[in-house]
C-alpha cells in the first residue's frame, strides 16, 4: 500500500497549517493499493521522537477500504477517531517541544472491522490490529517549531 499527500513529500517538511502553530487541521492524504479482500483501513499518525516515547497524534479506524482520499480537515464517513495522547478523539497536529521531529502517517488494511469506541487509545488499537493486517504503507514528514 502507498500513502501520499499533496501537502508534503516523503521526508519533507509539514506545512504549519497542519500543526499547532497553524489551524491544526489534518493534511490531505491519498491511499493506493488496498487489497481487494480488505474489510477496513486504519490510519495512525505518531511522533516517535517525542521526549517520553511515541506520541499519538491521530487514530482513525473502520475507514471504508475503498477510500482513496482523506480530504484536508475531514474524517471519512463512518470512521471512528480514537483518543490521542492529547486526550481527545480528533486530529492533533505536530507540536514538538524542541528540535525537529518525524511524523509518521501509517495506513493499514485489515481483514476485519474493529469493535472499538472513541475512548480507545493506541494500546487498544494495537491489540485489536494484531493478526488482522493485510497490507500497510507509511509517509513521513518532519516539523520543527519556529522554522
* Other residues' Cβ atoms within 10 Å of the Cβ of residue 61: 23
Task: Give the tens place of pLDDT for each residue, 33-60.
Answer: 999 999 999 999 999 999 999 999 999 9
Domains annotated for the chain, with CATH where assigned, are 2-144 (3.90.280.10)
Q: Which residues pair with 46 in a beta bridge?
A: 56, 104
Residue 145 in this model has a pLDDT that exceeds 90: no
Give the mean model confidence (pLDDT) for residues 82-110.
Answer: 96
Residue 109 in this model has a pLDDT that exceeds 90: yes
Rounded CA gap, 86 and 74, in Å? Answer: 18
Q: State pTM to two decimals.
A: 0.96
Predicted confidence at residue 147, as pLDDT, reads: 55
Amino acid at each position: 500500500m502507498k500513502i501520499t499527500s499533496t501537502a508534503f513529500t516523503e521526508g519533507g517538511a509539514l506545512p504549519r497549517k497542519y500543526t499547532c502553530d497553524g489551524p491544526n487541521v489534518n493534511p490531505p492524504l491519498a491511499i493506493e493499493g488496498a487489497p481487494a479482500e480488505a474489510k477496513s483501513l486504519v490510519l495512525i499518525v505518531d511522533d516517535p521522537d517525542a521526549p517520553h516515547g511515541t506520541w499519538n497524534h491521530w487514530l482513525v479506524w473502520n475507514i471504508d477500504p475503498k477510500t482513496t482520499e482523506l480530504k484536508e480537515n475531514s474524517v471519512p464517513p463512518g470512521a471512528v477517531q480514537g483518543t490521542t495522547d492529547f486526550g481527545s478523539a480528533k486530529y492533533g497536529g505536530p507540536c514538538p517541544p524542541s528540535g525537529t521531529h518525524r511524523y509518521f502517517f501509517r495506513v493499514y488494511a485489515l481483514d476485519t472491522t474493529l469493535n472499538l469506541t472513541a475512548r480507545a487509545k493506541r494500546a487498544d488499537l494495537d491489540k485489536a490490529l494484531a493478526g488482522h493486517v493485510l497490507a500497510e504503507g507509511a509517509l513521513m514528514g518532519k516539523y520543527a517549531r519556529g522554522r
